[in-house]
Amino acid sequence: MKLGNQSSNTMPPTTPPDACVSASPRSDRKRRRTSRLARPLQTTPIPAQLTDGRLLVVTDCSGIESPIQALHGLGVIYTHAAACEQSKSLQKFIVCNYGPHVLYANVFERDDDAFVNLLGEAGRVDVYVNGPPCQSFSQAGRSEGDTSFFDKACATIDKMLPKVFLLENVDGLVGRHTDKLADIITKLNVSRVYNVYAKMLNSAKVGGVPQNRNRIYIVGIAKKLDDGSFEWPHAYPHGGLDCVLDPRDDAYIIVPPPPSQKNSEE
């Protein structure tokens, strides 16, 4: 299934005039609750030149925009149609580095009907990506099983009808909250528009990164476009930490003395 063109030197479709900034969400933690109302950067439809031959991508709970980074790294020609992020510092980071056509501050207060009108002549969303907050399902968090963000994601998908969507969260959805995962998949299947696939993947095994992190991924592909070619990532061959650490030089290793000798010296 091919959704867009690729280019080895693709740049983000819009470049904001301000200098790029780094994200520092911790310093903004106390101010997050004040960022409630949706504040779009644009209220005019997306120009046709930014939709023809490009993937129209929408991200919610956008964070540092890993999906956009991935598309850019793969050389996919895209237009970042919309993003949604509550943290003010991350909003600045997103605007300066990725320039979405419209940026919202609160996914629950966004008018999805109004956004669909911004799609202009394109009238479609190709890819929708959402990684809802994980505290409700994380073993290290509250683990209360609150699915409100997923419920909103399902409603957004039903409204925007993207060709492909990707939802991601912690492996707690597969453990103690398996019933919640089943409910989410059921809601995504209500319209019978998509073939929905779900699988838990380990970042070290399939991503080749030195981090042992399990995540559940839910992929939906419009049935009219699903030709059966979708495959989950295969195991990524890597050599462990030796691939990312500098070579060890035994000449500079300090070997501590045996305990008995250490005590006698003291």
CA 7 to chain CA centroid, Å, is 22
CA neighbours within 13 Å on the CB side: how many for 210?
7
Whether the CB-CB separation of 207 and 165 falls below 8 Å is answered with no
* Catalytic member of 96, 134, 154, 243: 134
Tokens 């301000």 belong to residue: 18
Q: How many residues does the chain have?
A: 266
Give the 3-state secondary structure of residue 31.
helix
DSSP-assigned letter for residue 242: G
What is the helix (H) or strand (E) element at residue 184, kind and residue range? helix 178-189
CA–CA gap between residue 112 and residue 157 (Å, rounded)? 10
Neighbours of 25 (CB within 10 A): 16
Query: Can you read off the two tokens belonging to residue 22?
Result: 């780094």
Catalytic residue check, 84? no
Q: Catalytic residues, which ones?
A: 134
